Amino acid sequence: MCDHTVWDAQIEALTDIADARVVEWGMQHTTLVEMAQAALAAAPQRFALAGHSMGGRVAFEVYRLAPERVTHIAVMNTGVIPRAEGEAGEEEARGRRHLLDIAFQQGIRAMAMEWMKGMVPEHRRGDAVLVDAIVGMFERKTPELFLVQQQALLARRDARPVLETIQCPALVLTGGDDAWSPPAAHEKIAAGIAGSQLVIVPRSGHMSTMEQPTAVSAAMRSWLSGSR
C-alpha cells in the first residue's frame, strides 16, 4: 500500500550517489514472486536493491531469482519466516482480515488509522505531518489492492534459505520500537548473512524511512559505499 513517499527522503539525500527508481505493485502482482519479477523487469542489468516491509520480502525473492544482478541488498522492517502453521498462523490471518474488513466497510483512512496502532509507536502518533503522509499514501491505493497484497503475504515463502546465499554488501535495518518487525528478528536475519551490517534505528517504529529519515539515509549511504 506504499508508494514513493516511503523513499522520498532517501532519494533526495542520496541523489549524488544513486539513481533511484521506485517499483509499485498493481492488481496483477498476486504473489511476492510476481512482484520480484516485476522489479527485475524494471531494473537495469546490475543494481543495488532496497526493500521496506513487504518490499524486503520481495527483495529476498529478487535475490533468489537473479543473484548475479544484485550488487547490494538492503532489507528494512521486514521478515523472513513463512506464515506459521496452526493457531499462530490463523491468528495472523484473522488480524489481516480485520484490517481488510475495515478497509472495505469503512474506507482506507479508517484502516490506516487502525493499522498505525501496531506500526507507529505511540510517541509518534501525535506527529500530524508523519501521520498525514502515511494516511495520504494509503488513500492513494484501494481496498482491492490491499486484499491482493494481504493474500500474497499470507502465502509468502520461507526466505531463510536465501540468507546464506547472499554474497554482496547487505544492510539489515529496523526501528528500535518496531513491534511488528522487531530488532531481535533482524539480529537473526543479519546473523544469517555473512558480513552484513545491522542497524537498529532508535525511536523508530515500522515506518523507519519516514520516521527517522536522516538516520536511515546515513545507513544507506554507508551501505552503498561498501564493497565485498
Q: How far apart are CA 204 and CA 130, in angstroms?
A: 12
pLDDT of residue 228: 60
208 grid coordinates? 523507519
Each of the 228 residues of the chain gets a pLDDT tens digit; together they read 999 999 999 999 999 999 999 999 999 999 999 999 999 999 999 999 999 999 999 999 999 999 999 999 999 999 999 999 999 999 999 999 999 999 999 999 999 999 999 899 999 999 999 999 999 999 999 999 999 999 999 999 999 999 999 999 999 999 999 999 999 999 999 999 999 999 999 999 999 999 999 999 999 999 999 866
CB atoms within 10 A of CB 195: 12
Helices (H), 69-158: 86-106, 108-119, 128-139, 143-154
pLDDT of residue 226: 81
pLDDT of residue 227: 67
Q: How far apart are CA 34 and CA 152, in angstroms?
A: 10
pLDDT of residue 175: 98
Distances (CA, A) of 129 to 53, 100, 116, 133, 188: 21, 25, 14, 6, 33
Distances (CA, A) of 147 to 42, 45, 61, 131: 24, 32, 20, 22
H or E element at residue 31 = none
Q: Model-level pTM?
A: 0.95
Work out whether strand 197-201 and strand 70-76 pair parallel, antiparallel, or are unpaired.
unpaired
